[in-house]
Amino acid sequence: MLGQASSEHLVIIGAVLLVALVAVVLVSGILSGSPGKSESDNYWQGARPFSIKEHSQQGSTMYLTLFNTEPDARIVNSITVGNASSSFNFSLAPGGSNAFSVTGLRACDSSYKEYEYQVRIYYSSFDVSGQVQTGAKPLSGTCAG
């Protein structure tokens, strides 16, 4: 009888601890802001041939800084963020960067405070044209202002 009461208490304590653990995980995920932002930033900061180390969205415009991580120059022709595209024709030296913007995205407002977009970068090297870098992870963050 005494052994049964002890095991019942252990089961109850185990259930309470499990519920508490689930509650902590759920609350920490909700309070951390954009759930995928740090994973997205880690991916894009190490991406090749181009990395994106800075990005923010204000209104319907995404501001990005693109870095060439390769040992030779690349020519950026256009970039697609979500369903919006911008055409360019700028060259990035090895280790070089360029800040630019892409307009035409869904505007940030009180009901849309976090963004998550697939990114495609269309580029050429001096000997091969028509190359595409498609992000394996979306670019995500919290809207500015």
For the chain, 145 residues long, give each residue's pLDDT as a single digit of tens.
Answer: 555 656 776 667 766 666 665 554 554 444 444 447 899 999 999 999 999 999 999 999 999 999 999 999 999 999 999 999 999 999 999 999 999 999 999 999 989 999 999 999 999 998 999 999 999 999 999 998 6
18 exposure class (CB count in 10 Å sphere: 0-12, 13-18, 19+):
exposed
17: amino acid identity, one letter: L
- pLDDT value of residue 117: 97
**pTM (2 decimals)?**
0.74
Question: 141 and 56 in contact (C-beta within 8 Å)?
Answer: yes
Instruction: Tell me which CATH code domain 37-142 carries.
Output: 2.60.40.1940
- Largest Cα separation within the chain, whole Å, is 83
- pLDDT value of residue 15: 64
- pLDDT value of residue 3: 58
Cα–chain-centroid distance for residue 78? 19
Cα–Cα nearest to 107, from 84, 86, 73: 84
Cα–Cα nearest to 140, from 65, 18, 34, 59: 34
- pLDDT value of residue 35: 47
- pLDDT value of residue 87: 95
For the chain, how many helices (H) and strands (E)? 2, 9
